[in-house]
């Protein structure tokens, strides 16, 4: 380890010089095992590592995250994957360890956003996870350790330049943190708020039932939000985030953005999507892009242009608006977390359209009664955590 690392440049090539270092002169808690991570890589690495280590501590399960531009595209804990999820995550041909399953879920939640991601693992990166990563487009990874096989596999990525970072799990950051903006130093206490099931006890709706799965998913959503650029909301189901809306100026736009991502995640499981007759030579990123177009309302226009022959062996039948509406009507048992209070019931109306049955949010709006009433209209269980989770 060293006490500083010189970087190629900052956020942009014109921002030089650039480095990371420990202000007190102590050693950095990371070792670069391969590649040359940059400024944004390390921002992703340190945020994502905190997320997965907290998920592991809260759930007891191996955890993984897929980060892009200092917000998670996906986060998950290791649970059994259904055959359908294995197929839509393109891992049905792989042997998956628990930590590999967690990463398959984290990346699979929003595969388009995860393209070129930074990966974080709570546990040692094994051969199974490295083989999964080997065939995906990714910038780098942070983990507490790597097996010899895994490290050798990862060193072959990107012509040997793939970024591999090892973090010292014994490192404890200082309780006070600083950052500079416009030459002015900001200081604040580190956000060391522990998120667990105790936060979910103040259920303010008529429906006061939270299943164990819902509690787990709400914890996943809240911890994900703790490291997502605000404003943000997170939809979660089956031990993973399925839609993250980050960095929006209004709460309803967060809810819509994340809800649309959750809808796409579910629509990818539609039998028509699973049966799309892709040509064998179509790469996974191109399949992701094509599936996104197929699910969209523009697909019939694309079909009319004859573009289907680039991707399919035969012309697929469109997934109509009526079929999408019917399929989404079966979406259920989704959990939703918000980093700040919902100011209006319209957020609940939008969330319900994406199968939300459980909500955790701080509460404290002057319109809490309206939000609670909207939840009661749909039988949604909602907990007030009393804790805001802004992250900037």
pLDDT digits (tens, 9 = 90+) for 57-85: 999 999 999 999 999 999 999 999 999 99
Same domain, 162 and 222: no
Task: Say which of 41, 231, 270, 347 is annotated catalytic.
Answer: 231
In a domain, 391, yes or no: no
The reply to whether 69 belongs to the active site is yes
What is the residue-averaged pLDDT of the chain? 95
Structural domain includes residue 22: yes
Are 281 and 349 found together in one domain? no
Q: Is 68 a catalytic residue?
A: yes
Residue 392 annotated in active site: yes
Confidence tier at 305 by pLDDT (50, 70, 90) = low
**Is the residue at 212 inside a domain?**
yes
pTM: 0.95
State how far the Cα of 369 lies from the Cα of 236, in Å rounded to an integer. 25
Domain count, the chain: 3
Q: Do the domain assignments include residue 392?
A: no
Q: Is the same domain home to 40 and 83?
A: yes
- Name, in order, each residue with C-beta under 8 angstroms of 222's C-beta and a sequence gap of 6 or more: 195, 199, 234, 337, 360, 385, 389
Query: Where are any strands of DSSP class E within 159-291?
Result: 163-167, 176-181, 184-189, 232-237, 240-246
Sort residue 235 into left (φ over 0), alpha (ψ -120 to 50) or beta. Answer: beta
pLDDT of 99 above 80? yes
Q: Are residues 278 and 296 in the same domain?
A: yes
Choose the final residue of a domain: 172, 202, 235. Answer: 172
| Active-site option among 34, 41, 68, 391 | 68
Does 260 lie in the same domain as 136?
Answer: no
How many Cβ atoms from other residues are within 10 Å of residue 52's Cβ? 32
**Domain of 92, in residue numbers:** 4-172
* Residue-level pLDDT at 2: 76
Q: Is the pLDDT of residue 302 over 80?
A: no
Q: What is the CATH number of the domain that holds 349?
A: 3.40.140.20
Residue 389 domain flag: no
Q: Report d(CA 142, CA 125) in Å as an integer.
A: 9
Please write the tens of the pLDDT for every residue from 326-381. 999 999 999 999 999 999 999 999 999 999 999 999 999 999 999 999 999 999 99
pLDDT in tens, 105-121: 999 999 999 999 999 99
> What is the secondary structure of 280-300 as a DSSP string?
TT--HHHHHHHHHHHHSTTHH
């Amino acid at each position: 380890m060293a006490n500083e690392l010189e970087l190629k440049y900052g956020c942009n090539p014109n921002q030089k010089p650039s480095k990371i270092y420990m202000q007190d002169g102590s050693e950095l808690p990371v070792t670069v095992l391969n590649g040359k991570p940059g400024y944004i890589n390390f921002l992703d690495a340190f945020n994502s590592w905190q997320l997965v280590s907290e998920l592991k501590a809260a759930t007891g399960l191996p955890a993984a995250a897929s980060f892009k531009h200092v917000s998670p595209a996906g986060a998950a804990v290791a649970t059994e994957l259904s055959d359908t999820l294995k197929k839509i995550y393109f891992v049905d041909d792989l042997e998956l360890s628990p930590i590999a399953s967690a990463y398959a879920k984290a990346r699979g939640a929003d595969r388009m956003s995860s393209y070129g991601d930074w990966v974080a693992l709570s546990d040692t990166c094994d051969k199974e996870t490295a083989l999964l990563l080997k065939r995906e487009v990714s910038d780098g990874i942070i983990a507490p350790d790597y097996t010899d096989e895994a490290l050798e596999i990862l060193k072959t990525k990107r012509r040997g330049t793939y970024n591999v970072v090892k973090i010292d799990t014994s490192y404890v950051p200082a309780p006070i943190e600083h950052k500079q903006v416009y030459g002015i130093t900001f200081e604040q206490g580190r956000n060391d708020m522990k998120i667990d099931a105790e936060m979910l006890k103040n259920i303010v709706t008529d429906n006061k039932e939270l299943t164990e799965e819902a509690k787990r998913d709400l914890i996943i959503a809240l911890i994900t939000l703790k490291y997502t650029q605000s404003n943000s909301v997170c939809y979660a189901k089956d031990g993973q985030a399925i839609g993250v809306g980050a960095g929006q100026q209004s709460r309803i736009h967060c809810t819509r953005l994340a809800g649309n991502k959750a809808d796409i995640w579910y629509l990818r499981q539609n039998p028509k999507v699973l049966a799309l007759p892709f040509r064998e030579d179509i790469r996974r990123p191109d399949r992701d892009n094509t599936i996104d177009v197929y699910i969209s309302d523009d697909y019939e226009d694309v079909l009319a242009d004859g573009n289907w022959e680039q991707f399919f062996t035969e012309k697929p039948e469109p997934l109509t608006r009526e079929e999408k509406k019917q399929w989404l009507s079966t979406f259920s048992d989704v959990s939703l977390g918000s980093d700040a209070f919902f100011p209006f019931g319209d957020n609940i109306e939008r969330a319900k359209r994406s199968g939300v049955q459980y909500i955790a949010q701080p509460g404290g709006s002057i319109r809490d009664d309206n939000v609670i009433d909207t939840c009661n209209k749909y039988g949604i269980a909602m907990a007030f955590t009393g804790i805001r989770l802004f992250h900037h």
